[in-house]
């Protein structure tokens, strides 16, 4: 009996310790990994500021991340770089470069950290309203994953449009030019 009680006490102590010392994967990492396995060309990922509006449309999946945008973006880009089927095309709100530290304390430091987390990608700047319109248009046919972070700064969200990982704009242009040439040659011969 005494052995049984000691065993139960020992088991209770071990159970209460749980996985101390073992890192756990945050839920937003698991959600991103789940979604990026399914996302492809023309899908979007938004690494969003804390006040980014919740979306109610089907096809928009939102997950909260208890980290700031630079940390989340670094993880997202690292994850996408492991995929062969897609590559990211980044957009940032044009307003971000004009926001002053006097009105949004910490924005200067944020911009420096954001630059370091871009993995060398050159983001395209568009007005935030244009980015939201692109996102809304894309969501009519394609999925969007929104990762809402803890960053409390205006115009700090990063929008990622997924492009084919094995086909780029140059390859597409060459293909279109070849098709146009073939079409023109066919029409000239047919006369």
Question: How would residue 10 be classed by pLDDT, with cut points 50, 70 and 90?
Answer: low
Q: From the CB of residue 173, how many other CB atoms can be counted at a distance below 10 Å? A: 10
Q: Is 70 exceeded by the pLDDT of residue 55?
A: yes
By CB neighbour count within 10 A (0-12 exposed, 13-18 middle, 19+ buried), where does 174 fall? exposed
pLDDT, residue 132, reads 93
Q: How far is CA 112 from the centre of its chain?
A: 19
Integer CA distances (angstroms), 93 to 20, 31, 56, 106, in order: 41, 25, 22, 17
Q: Which residue has the higher pLDDT, 129 or 14?
A: 129
Element (H, E) at 189: helix 169-189
pTM of the model: 0.78
Name the one residue in this structure whose structure tokens are 């568009």.
Answer: 126
Q: What is the DSSP string of 12-33?
A: HHHHHHTTTTS----HHHHHHH
CATH number for 42-165 (one of 3.40.1650.10, 3.40.50.720, 3.40.1010.20, 3.90.1150.30): it is 3.40.1650.10
* Mean per-residue pLDDT of the chain: 86
Break the chain into its structural domains and give their ranges. Answer: 42-165
**CA atoms of 190 and 184, how far apart (whole Å):** 10
- pLDDT (mean) for 119-147: 92
Q: Is 60 exceeded by the pLDDT of residue 63?
A: yes
């Amino acid at each position: 009996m005494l052995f049984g009680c000691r065993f139960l006490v020992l088991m209770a102590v071990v159970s209460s310790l749980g996985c101390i010392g073992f890192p756990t994967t945050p839920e937003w990492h698991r959600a991103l990994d789940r979604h990026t396995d399914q996302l492809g060309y023309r899908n979007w990922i938004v690494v969003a500021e804390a006040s980014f509006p919740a979306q109610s449309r089907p096809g928009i999946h939102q997950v909260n991340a208890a980290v700031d945008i630079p940390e989340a973006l670094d993880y997202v880009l690292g994850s996408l770089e492991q995929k062969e089927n897609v590559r990211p095309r980044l957009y940032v709100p044009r307003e971000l470069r004009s926001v002053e530290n006097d009105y949004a304390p910490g924005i200067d430091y944020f911009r420096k950290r954001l630059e370091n987390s871009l993995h060398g990608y050159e983001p395209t700047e568009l007005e935030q309203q244009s980015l939201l319109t692109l996102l809304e248009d894309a969501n009519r046919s394609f999925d969007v994953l929104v990762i809402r972070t803890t960053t409390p700064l205006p115009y700090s969200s990063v929008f990622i449009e997924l492009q084919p990982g094995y086909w780029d704009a140059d390859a597409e242009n060459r293909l279109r030019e070849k098709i146009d040439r073939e079409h023109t040659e066919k029409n000239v011969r047919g006369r």
